[in-house]
Amino acid sequence: MADPRNTNDKSLHVAVQLLDSALGRPMRSWQFDSKPVISIGRAGDRDVQVDDPYVSRTHAELRWNERPGCEPSWLLVSLGRYGVTVEGHSITELPITKETTFRLGPEGPTLRFDPAAARSDNRMTMMFDSTLVQNAYELDRQKLERDVGEIEGAGYFKELQRRAKELRRNRSTEEETKA
């Protein structure tokens, strides 16, 4: 049985990595030692904090799971509005026994959980790869078109357009009146 207070227990020495969506390379990494629950979300107090509009304040948790009669494993639990997907499938809970890549929502960031991570420094580290710089400004055209379409189709945007047109018309009328 894994004991969260036992720092020699390798089952609780894990890593979580934020992956570059274009290249699949780690951009950021968190190491955890003897932590039975790892929170993931947008809120600043999450263990893995990911600032992205598709990420809920508390989006997911990784929980050390020791059920009687079952082999101990980690459990990935979806808690956010947009859910969690693993290999293209939406999950509510998923036992994890090996390295697993998952996405926070259908359009959100991709993370990799490594339950076999070697014990190391527990500080968050930032990875840098010079090839990321050249890809940093590449656009996902399909995503851009979908997002713009959603904005244009929204009632609030249409109302803003109508109001702007009305204000321009009023300004033109006032200018003509002054002339």
Q: Where are the domains of the chain?
A: 10-138, 142-178
CA 56: distance to chain centroid? 8
Helix (H) or strand (E) holding 65: strand 60-65
Full-prediction pTM beyond 0.75?
no
Lowest average pLDDT, out of 14-28, 107-121, 154-168, goes to: 107-121
What is the pairing mode between strands 89-91 and 110-114? Answer: unpaired
Contacts of residue 12, defined as CB under 8 A and 6 or more positions apart, other chains included, come to 2, 4, 32, 33, 34, 35, 36, 64
49 near 42, Cβ under 8 Å?
A: yes
CATH number assigned to the domain covering 10-138: 2.60.200.20
Per residue in 126-162, is it b (16+ CB within 10 Å) or e — as a string? eeeeeeeeeeeeeeeeeeeeeeeeeeeeeeeeeeeee
Render pLDDT for 14-48 as a digit per residue (tens, 0 to 9).
999 999 888 888 999 999 998 999 999 999 999 99
Longest Cα separation, the chain: 88
Helices of type H across 20-154: 130-135, 141-153
18 phi/psi in degrees, rounded to 5? -90, 125
- % of the chain beyond a pLDDT of 90: 44
Token pair recorded at residue 52: 């992205």
